[in-house]
Amino acid sequence: MTMTAHENHLEGDSKVGRIGYPPNQAATVIRDRFQQWRGQYLATCARLDEALPAIDTAIRDRISRGKSRTAQWWGRYQAWDGRVRKQQRQPARYSLIAVPHATAFAKWLVGLSGAGMVLAFGFYVQSYLSILSIKNDCVSLQFVADAISGAARLAGLFLLSGILALFALIWPTVVGIGRNLLRWYKADELPPLQPEQKFDEWSDFQVTGRVTILQGVLVGFSFLLFVLLTFSPVFFSIGSTPEGVLRIWHSFELQCLPPQSDQAAS
């Protein structure tokens, strides 16, 4: 079916104006809207042109403040580095105070760890001798064997704590012996270092890096291990109460039950 001329004209009007404007009026509306958008665009460009100098100034100020702050930090670092290098050339003073204190604490830990090891070994011997006075059944033997292994493990850990403390105790002496051996090997005809001169000609950083840090680490691990071994039986042992002992005994009873196949065969 062909369309009439009037219908074609109406269809063209609707395509041009989009809302039913006549062709001339639709062109005017489109031109007005374009002028409005162009005005908004020019206004935005003008505002950007006005704001760009301020933005550029703010960025430059931020960069200059960052540079000045970096220069300030760099100056502080250079001053600190100068003090460090100056101190490295001076004889040791501060680190020599830490070595005797760590040595005294290591002596204390050696004594306490030795006492704990002797006590744990006494428990081990007592548990071992109790085998002679128990019934020769599976549950009793398992119960005593668990006590023996626990006492032996506790004694070994106390021994480890004592060894760490002992190594921290003798480390300054080992360093002094090593320095004398090095002097003898180089044959520089230097006098040997006496026991109270172990760290002569060394700076604070040399004594700290080669003696104090390692000694402190060893003492710290020994003390931590000793504290854990001392307080773990008090706070974490399930056999410290009658109910805990009965619970352990019952677990060994379950372990000593014969298999179901043996019971069915009997």
pLDDT single digits (tens) 170-183: 999 999 888 888 88
What's the burial of 60, exposed, middle or buried (CB within 10 Å: 0-12/13-18/19+)? exposed
In the numeric block, which tokens belong to residue 70?
A: 């970096």
**Could you write out the DSSP letters of every residue in 174-216?**
HHHHHHHHHHHHHT--PPPPPGGGTTTT--HHHHIIIIIHHHH
Contacts of 151 (CB under 8 A, 6+ apart): 120, 121, 123, 124, 127
Look at 115 and 86; give whichever has higher pLDDT: 115
Question: What's the confidence (pLDDT) of residue 200?
Answer: 81
Question: What's the confidence (pLDDT) of residue 12?
Answer: 47
Question: What's the confidence (pLDDT) of residue 250?
Answer: 66
What is the Cα gyration radius of the chain? 44
Mean pLDDT of 150-162: 89
The model's pLDDT over 30-74, given as tens digits with 9 standing for 90+, comes to: 877 888 888 888 888 888 777 778 777 888 888 888 888 888 888
Question: What's the confidence (pLDDT) of residue 198?
Answer: 81
Contact (Cβ atoms closer than 8 angstroms) between residue 117 and residue 155: yes
CA distances from 82 to 38, 71, 86 (A): 64, 16, 6
Q: Which amino acid does the sequence have at 12?
A: G
Look at 162 and 239; give whichever has higher pLDDT: 162
- Range in 6-10, 135-139, 194-198, 253-257 with the lowest mean pLDDT: 6-10
Question: What's the confidence (pLDDT) of residue 260?
Answer: 58
Question: What's the confidence (pLDDT) of residue 249?
Answer: 65
Q: How open is the CA angle 47-52-56, to the nearest 5 degrees?
A: 160
What CA–CA distance (Å, rounded) separates 182 from 202? 15
Look at 71 and 250; give whichever has higher pLDDT: 71
Q: Tell me phi and psi for residue 199, to 5 degrees.
A: -110, 20
Q: How does the average pLDDT of the chain come out, rounded?
A: 78
CB atoms under 10 Å from CB of 227, counted, come to: 11
Query: Per-residue pLDDT for 247 more than 70?
Result: yes
Mean pLDDT of 112-117: 90
What CA–CA distance (Å, rounded) separates 223 from 116? 13
CB-side neighbour CA atoms (13 Å) of 70: 6
Rounded to two decimals, the pTM is 0.61
In the numeric block, which tokens belong to residue 260?
A: 């179901």
What CA–CA distance (Å, rounded) separates 114 from 166? 11
